[in-house]
Amino acid sequence: MSKRYFGTDGIRGLVGDSPITPDFMLKLGWASGRVFSRESAEDGRCLVIIGKDTRVSGYMFESALEAGLVAAGVDVKLLGPMPTPAVALMTRTQNAEAGIVISASHNPFYDNGIKFFGANGSKLPDEIEHAIEAELELELTTVQSRHIGKVLRVVDAAGRYIEFCKSTVPEGFSLRGLRIAVDCAHGATYHIAPSVLSELGAEVISMGVQPDGFNINEGVGSTDMSALSQLVTENDAHLGIAYDGDGDRVLLVDAAGELVDGDELVYIIAMHRLAAGTSDAGVVGTQMSNLGLELALRDVGLQLARAQVGDRYVKALMETNDWSLGGESSGHIICSDVTTTGDGIVASLQVLMALKAAGADLATLRSGMKKFPQVMINVTVGGKVDLADYPKIATAVAAVEQQLGERGRVLLRPSGTEPKVRVMVEGENAEEVQSLCAELAQEVEKVLA
């Protein structure tokens, strides 16, 4: 059964456009509060944690959600601006029934959204999201006054999360001697990441740490790495780290200012774990993970299992395979032996552990994986399509796959948010990949026109 409001990562959209409005958030708080109350222990009150990133509309939606939750009889703890993974952590450590994050992640300030975590610090299962949507169809009512929820602001949330991040590295681990440039995207990590790295001994050069409610992700963060690359080279830093607006993604640049993406970071962490004797049989990527990652892992006896695009699908396949490492090329990396969800700061510390253990620089660590050229073309279509209904497309794909052989890959994927089919071709020769992708996209467009 399809969902009306929830997408692959919560609810997101333009502020002021339905459903990203104050009245909807009030109703959402109430509806989710009723569902979480049913899930909580019968002998205790239900508690929900709320955190947010730094965009200006967060104040408005925090108040609306808070009002809806307490009207449903739920107690609330407010964390203020905190990374998404910190909300997941606090949900677990505070024995809350759920956590809510007000964030549109890497989007501009004029977007916002809501993400939910369950009591275990993981994203909500589909059945809970369906239950919340069912409650949204009902008329809002308020519990009796004696049962109205209470609200408490957690004043030391940042300090608690900083200590957690530091606890994910071995005792005595030190970054002393490293000069690290850090870009916090004027987002939720602005008061967290520099402290974590400096308290572990690094010399930290910070940018993107002056949020004003409007500048989140604007020319900074993991969606725009150019400023960080320049900061690294101008300051002779050993490497640079960039987080996105809500801190669940991370990308790096090496000392030359060259991008190190999520696939390469997963490779570096996997190689470190293999050398340390703590590796699983493989790691989880997505349909979009570079073929170079798959081949590099195969060369050392590790598997790459591909999930659908989206961190919830990565996490689900990790659980199915009983593997502890997975991620996406966008930098959403999950280390489930350390924490329950994608965490940019934790992932960056895993990479720094690998760097220190190997006694090598970032460029050297990434060199064991050869990225294959990858080209994607978006083909606009009239609406939702099932590609299985078009045998001519299957024939065209098979022809391209035969030409590429085992050293290439084709992926056709209808977009989940736009009326487009994404045509991706990957292979060793950049010119060949570009040509084949253009030809295949043209064929798809002709068949679906």
Q: Where are the domains of the chain?
A: 11-154, 160-257, 260-366, 374-448
Query: 11-154 and 374-448: same fold?
Result: no
pLDDT attached to residue 381: 87
Long-range contacts of 236-239 (CB under 8 A, 24+ apart): 236/179, 237/179, 237/180, 237/181, 237/205, 238/178, 238/179, 238/180, 238/361, 238/362, 239/178, 239/180, 239/181, 239/355, 239/361, 239/362
- Edge to edge, the sheet with strand 203-207 lists 203-207, 179-183, 239-243, 250-253, 259-260
The DSSP result for 139-157, as a single string, is PP----GGG---EEE-TTH
Question: What is the structure's pLDDT at 221?
Answer: 96
Share of the chain above pLDDT 70, in %: 98
Let me know: does 414 contact 379? Beta carbons within 8 Å: no
- Composition of the chain by helix, strand, coil, percent to 5: 40, 20, 40
Question: Is the model's pLDDT at 359 over the cut of 80?
Answer: yes
Q: Which residues lie closer than 8 Å to 155 by C-beta, 6 or more apart? A: none
Q: Which residue has the tokens 């965490």?
A: 343
The predicted pLDDT at position 203 comes to 98
Range 77-84 average pLDDT: 98
pTM (2 d.p.)? 0.93
Distances (CA, A) of 376 to 371, 419, 425: 15, 16, 7
Do 162 and 199 meet the contact criterion of CB atoms below 8 Å apart? yes
Q: Which of 105, 222, 329, 330 is catalytic?
A: 105
State residue 419's pLDDT score: 81
Query: Topology of domain 11-154, per CATH?
Result: Alpha-D-Glucose-1,6-Bisphosphate; Chain A, domain 3 (3.40.120)
CATH number of 260-366: 3.40.120.10
218 burial type by CB count under 10 A (0-12 exposed, 13-18 middle, 19+ buried): middle
Q: What's residue 1's pLDDT?
A: 66
CA–chain centroid gap for 389, Å, is 33
Range scoring the smallest mean pLDDT among 78-82, 195-199, 305-309: 305-309
Per-residue confidence at 310, pLDDT binned at 50, 70, 90?
Answer: confident
- Determine how many CB atoms are found less than 10 A away from the CB of residue 138: 11
Buried b (16+ CB within 10 A) or exposed e, 263-279: bbbbbbbbbbbeeeeeb
The dihedral region occupied by 273, where left means phi > 0, alpha psi between -120 and 50, and beta the remainder, is alpha
Q: Can you give the pLDDT at residue 195? A: 98
Average pLDDT of the chain to the nearest whole number: 95
Measured CA to CA, the distance from residue 373 to residue 107 in angstroms comes to: 26
Q: Is the pLDDT of residue 16 over 80?
A: yes
Whether the pLDDT of residue 43 is over 60: the answer is no
Asked if CATH classification 3.40.50.170 holds for the domain at 160-257, the reply, yes or no, is no
| Neighbouring residues of 261: CB distance < 8 A, sequence distance ≥ 6 | 251, 329, 330, 331
Active-site residue, 105 included: yes
Token pair listed for 320: 């199915």
Give the per-residue pLDDT at 41.
Answer: 58
Residues 92 and 208: beta-carbon distance below 8 Å: no
> What mean pLDDT comes out for the span 237-259?
97
E strand intervals along 60-108: 75-81, 98-102
The contacts of residue 236 (CB under 8 Å, 6+ apart) are 179, 255
Query: Rg (Cα) of the chain, in Å, rounded?
Result: 23
Spell out the residues 6+ positions from residue 123 whose beta carbon is closer than 8 angstroms to its own. Answer: 9, 115, 116, 117, 311, 312, 315, 341
pLDDT tens sequence across 178-206: 999 999 999 999 999 999 999 999 999 99
Q: How far apart are CA 81 and CA 378, in angstroms?
A: 36
Q: Which residue has the higher pLDDT, 214 or 418?
A: 214
Per-residue pLDDT tens over the stretch 146-170: 999 999 999 999 999 999 999 999 9
pLDDT at residue 44 is higher than 80 = no
Mean pLDDT within 306-310 = 91
pLDDT bin (cut points 50, 70, 90) of residue 8 is confident
Mean pLDDT of 92-106: 96
CATH number of 374-448, picked from 3.40.50.720, 3.30.310.50, 3.30.70.270, 3.40.630.30: 3.30.310.50
pLDDT at 417: 63
